[in-house]
Structure 1
Amino acid sequence: MRNARRSFLHWTLAATVAGTGTFGASLAHAQADYPAAGKTIRLIVPYPAGGGTDIIARSLGAELGQNLNATVIVENKPGASGMLGNTLVAKSPADGYTILLGITALIQAPAVYPKVTYQVSDFAPVSLIARSMDVFMVPRSSGITSLKDFIAKAKADKGMSFASYGNATSSHFNGEQFKRQAGVDLVHAPYAGSGPEMAAVLGAQVSSAFVDATAMSPHLKSDKLNFLAVTGTRRHPSLPNVPTFGELGFKGLEANGWFAMFVPAKTPQPIVDKLSAEVQKIVKTPAMTKRLADMGLMPAGSTAKEMAEVIQKDTPHWAGIAKTANIQID
């Protein structure tokens, strides 16, 4: 963990130094020549085609290729909960031609898997693309309309459950953190993704669920659900009347999920900055902003330094929950 934090500070310092113009002329030349004519940029998605990460990568990749006057090819490299694709990028040449579209699991995996084939410090952040959050919901048939009511019922009924979209996912972490904060004992019901999890709560097969906002979005007007709270520090734009856990007095549920771009750690800073500037412009266009919002996400488009700060803050947060709740994957 200490090595990772030192790397985060290195990212922040490198970004600051680059901004002052004290980097050598050779690095400035690297930025000017990037990308080289005829050179293909690979945008690696560590998950299967058709999912949210893939959709974002293909939308972003098309615009990035046009802006850079280069060929950007999206390659899906699923496997080992994203670690296969993550590792591929971590071990690639640090020249800006292999890019990762990563998610929060990138920094969560080292805390829960006994063997991870990369380190978080193997990556240099480029930009935070979008934030996500988990929505805590219950079947409307339960009659529960507030978090206070849910906690009271959970304390009286020891058989209640919370669903997640998988073991050692953000929803699992958030569920365990909520249990500890609320002093309730809920049975964890992990599902193989947000789709099956959403079906379970719609069918009242579970008492409650932490559902990713992307999977929740198509069901905003469902008469089968009651939304009780959201993770993160801001209310979801589509659920303005649903408070955050923080507003309700609960701590440790402030971290958002995220989608972000990374390159191998030793990529020259001018190349990182050039990619970051392009991603920021793309994310902030009306078309991309709408596309991300329609997915239930909160568009960001940050600098490399800002994304490094997110990682620096979030990594110990998730690791702490994993340790306290003993979340481990064999």
Structure 2
Amino acid sequence: MAITRRKTLARCLPLIALAAACGMGGAQAQDSYPSKPIRVIVPYPAGGGTDTIARLIGTQLSQRLGQPVVVENKPGASGILGNDIVAKAPGDGYTVLMGITALVQIPALYKKVPYKLGDLAPVSQIAKSADLLMVPRSSGVTTLQQFVDKAKAAPGTLNYGSYGNATSSHMNGERFKQKAGIDITHIPYQGSGPEMAALLGGQLTLAFVDATGAYPHIKSDKVNILAITGSQRHPALPQVPTMTESGYPGLEANGWFGMFVPASTPKAIVDKLGAEVASIVKSPELNKRLTDMGLIAVGSLPDDLKAQVDKDAAHWKSVAESARISMD
């Protein structure tokens, strides 16, 4: 028996030593991180909301971590190019992605994607947004039910605008049509700016406008805001009901901005980054900047964003499949 125990112990010792080394390695990685500049990949052009948020976070992160944080814009293929750069980068915490909701929608919209969603590890959800359902005030429509009744009375004669094909607004619009049982024509625009201009100009009878794009116009006397997508009312528009409150559930998913790193990144580094970003977002300065952009600040930790990603990926896949929305 003694010999057997000695043999068993002999076999276990290398494993115990390896486990201890891995634990120490993770702790050492966290303690020494970062020791060089960090680059934040923005998969969209400079000047947009994603870029702005990346630079705001990057400035604060640099001050906290004592290393330069460089924002690099890598637009292309609806964000796939930039996402792929980070998914295939070394898992050392020095390449970070500033992602948006499209990250979890892409697998449902494209047949071939060069990376898997699981190749990226969530770090922190920075902020969330939603789409506002807006109509020209001249239409006389003041509630969502009035619009639905009007659409049912004249099938195929009304329209709705989105800020682009296969965007959240397009998918929300198609889900709304299904839930309401109405026939309205989709008109896509290249962004919320042109879409908002078309609504104000009377070319649209309804528009799903991102809250950030609609924010400068929420008090305009030319529009009525009927409802908002997402899971909660917007703090700046407490009187505007959610789609669920209006009787049309199934549009509870929010848009969001979040940071990710390659999945092979040590958990100690992911947790350290997540804690720093969450703290930055919850600071009065960043909170106000995000609020001024029409966003709702979040500042979550990695596990919370992971749960959100899993939930949203399933939701948008269901919407894309049922509405037959595809980019292929």
TM-score range, shorter chain: over 0.9
Change (3 A) 1:22 1:290: farther
Letter matched to residue 225 of structure 1:
V
Aligned to 1:24: 23
What are the superposed Cα offsets for residues 70-109 of structure 1, whole Å, 9 maximum, x if unpaired? 0100000011111110011101111000000000000101
Letter in 1 for 2:116: Q
Which of 188, 191, 206 lines up with 1:208 in the alignment? 206
Query: Under a length normalisation based on structure 2, what TM-score does the superposition of the two structures give?
Result: 0.92
Q: Who is 1:77 aligned against?
A: 74
1:107-160 Cα shifts (integer Å, max 9, x gaps): 101101122111110100000000100000101111111001000000112211
Distance 2:232 2:249 in 1: 14
Report how far residue 22 of structure 1 moved.
12
Q: CA deviation at 1:223?
A: 1.0
Q: Which has the higher Rg, Structure 1 or Structure 2?
A: 2
Q: Deviations over 1:277-299 (max 9, x none)?
A: 10011000000000000000000
State the 4+ residue runs in structure 1 displaced beyond 6 angstroms: none
2:228 to 230, 234, 239: 230
Question: What CA distance in whole angstroms lies between the structure 2 residues aligned with 1:218 and 1:22?
Answer: 55
Q: What CA RMSD, in Å, does the superposition of the two structures yield over aligned residues?
A: 1.2
Q: Which residue of 2 aligns with 1:86?
A: 83
Structure-2 separation of matches of 1:196 and 1:110: 27
Matching of residue 51 in structure 1 with residue 18 in structure 2: no
Q: Provide the identity percentage.
A: 60
Q: For residue 322 of structure 1, what is the aligned residue in structure 2?
A: 320
Aligned to 1:8: none
What are the superposed Cα offsets for residues 207-241 of structure 1, whole Å, 9 maximum, x if unpaired? 10100000011001111100000011111111111
Specify the alignment match of 1:4 in structure 2. Answer: none
User: For the residues of structure 1 that align with 2:313 and 2:110, how far apart are their CA atoms?
Assistant: 14
State the 1:204 CA deviation.
1.1
TM-score (normalised: structure 1): 0.92
What is the 5 A alignment of 1:301-312? 301-312=299-310
2:95 maps to which residue? 98
Correspondence 1:105-254 to 2 at 5 A: 105-158=102-155, 159-254=157-252
- Classify 1:22/1:107 alpha carbon distance in 2 versus 1 (closer, same or farther; 3 Å): farther
**Residue 68 (1) aligns with residue 55 (2):** no
C-alpha distance in 2, partners of 1:264/1:186?
42
User: Could you tell me how far 1:23 is from its partner in structure 2?
Assistant: 6.8
| Structure 2 Cα separation of the partners of residues 220 and 191 of structure 1 | 20
User: 1:279 is matched with which residue: 255, 277, 291?
Assistant: 277
Q: Which amino acid aligns with 1:107?
A: V
Length, aligned pairs only: 308
Give ranges in structure 1 of 5+ residues lacking alignment: 1-20
Instruction: State how far apart, in whole Å, the 1-side matches of 2:244 and 2:22 are.
Output: 42
Residue type at the aligned position of 1:207: T
Aligned with 2:270: secondary structure? helix
